[in-house]
Amino acid sequence: MDLPLLRQLCEASGPPGAEDRVRALVRERLAAVADRVDDLAMGCIDGVRAPDGEAAGRLMLAAHMDEIGLMVTHVDDRGFVKFIPLGGWDARTLVGQRVLVHGRRDLVGIVGSTPVHLLDEAARSKAPKMEDLTIDLGLPGEQAQELVRAGDVASRVRDLAEVGDLVSGKALDDRVGVYVMLEGLRAAGPSPMEVHATATAQEEVGLRGARTAAHRIAPDIAVAIDTCPADDGPGTPSSGPSTRLGEGAAIRVMDASAIGHRGLVDLLIALAEERDIPHQLHVSNKGGTDTASLQLSGRGAIAGCISIPTRYVHTSVEACHPDDIDAAVALTAALIEQAHRLLAPA
């Protein structure tokens, strides 16, 4: 695994609708593995690789660049910043964090809470809500109001760290998917299909960028690459269909947003078996990915999802296993080379 690349991707800022920083990084990397890179209207970028020979349809890969973030609603007279969430936050995980507020310049902020000494028994047992939280910029009110205004966004600050056998940090959802897409395209041999590697925008607020990108690309086969919640962390079910860290790339059969195309699921399983790629199945009635937008775009596409099992999704300590990341890269490369099998006449 290319840890420096994953680190660069994860540590870059990219709240929904403000993906410019991570996009600049991804563009540079895409340009190195694609024949051309197209900028799409909503902020997605599409790395296009020409087919080997006459085109046998279009394959679209999609991984989202955006991460959950915050949008400023108000800066009060004391300089405290109020905000609304961009994407699915658990307020408990934001308390005690450092954030970067993208105002007239970048400002480090802290999300504090009332000290435990000052809380009575009842208040101590209550979980905080997003609307109760505040960013403290450590600046006088007037200066904070000059530098930050409503509509500015903020992102989390967290290094990617090696923790035992795992890597952990913020925005592995879905920079690990972007990494897998980039490395998969780099590793893949020729494909008879025109391949589109699309880094999408605004996934966390409703799979928005992917919808317009798929409409433009009109793929025959479309595969999202995203994290899936692993079931092997504390507090998660220990039985039933589950994914575990270190047990391979996850082939997503179903979630709350989409049912994977049967033939595509079978092809991914077959490719993993043919190439000895460790793999597992993700079956759930919760969560969703860009797959839903890809599948329903235009006249519809044969769609599915390759996932990377992840603990603590949507916190600042999301964790993945490098072996699973490598397996997902290998499976993505295999798919690029072989997806056309799905289109061959029976």
Active site residues: 203
CA distance linking residue 281 with residue 254, whole number of Å? 9
Q: Which is nearer to Zn ion, 194 or 255 (CB)?
A: 255
If DSSP states are collapsed to H, E and C, what string results for 18-56?
CCHHHHHHHHHHHHHHCCEEEECCCCCEEEEECCCCCCC
Q: Hey, what amino acid is at 251?
A: I
CA distance linking residue 329 with residue 346, whole number of Å? 29
CA distance linking residue 299 with residue 113, whole number of Å? 50
CA distance linking residue 225 with residue 62, whole number of Å? 6
The footprint of Zn ion (CB under 5 A) covers 173-174, 226
Half-sphere exposure for 308 (CA within 13 Å, toward CB): 35
Q: Which is nearer to Zn ion, 105 or 286 (CB)?
A: 286
Q: Which is nearer to Zn ion, 173 or 337 (CB)?
A: 173
Question: What Cα–Cα distance (Å) separates residue 53 from each residue in 56, 84, 149, 194, 221?
Answer: 9, 50, 53, 10, 18
CA distance linking residue 10 with residue 26, whole number of Å? 11
Q: Which residues of 182-194 are buried (b: 16+ CB within 10 A; e: fewer)?
A: bbbbeebeebbbb
Half-sphere exposure for 146 (CA within 13 Å, toward CB): 5
CB atoms within 10 A of CB 125: 8
Q: Which is nearer to Zn ion, 210 or 221 (CB)?
A: 210
Q: Which is nearer to Zn ion, 152 or 173 (CB)?
A: 173
Pair of tokens at residue 252? 């997503």
CA 154 to chain centre: 17
Q: Give the SS3 label for residue 167.
A: strand
CA distance linking residue 179 with residue 174, whole number of Å? 9
Pair of tokens at residue 273? 């078996």
CA distance linking residue 49 with residue 42, whole number of Å? 21
Q: Which is nearer to Zn ion, 137 or 245 (CB)?
A: 245
Using CB positions, name the residue nearest to Zn ion.
Answer: 174
Q: Which is nearer to Zn ion, 226 or 337 (CB)?
A: 226
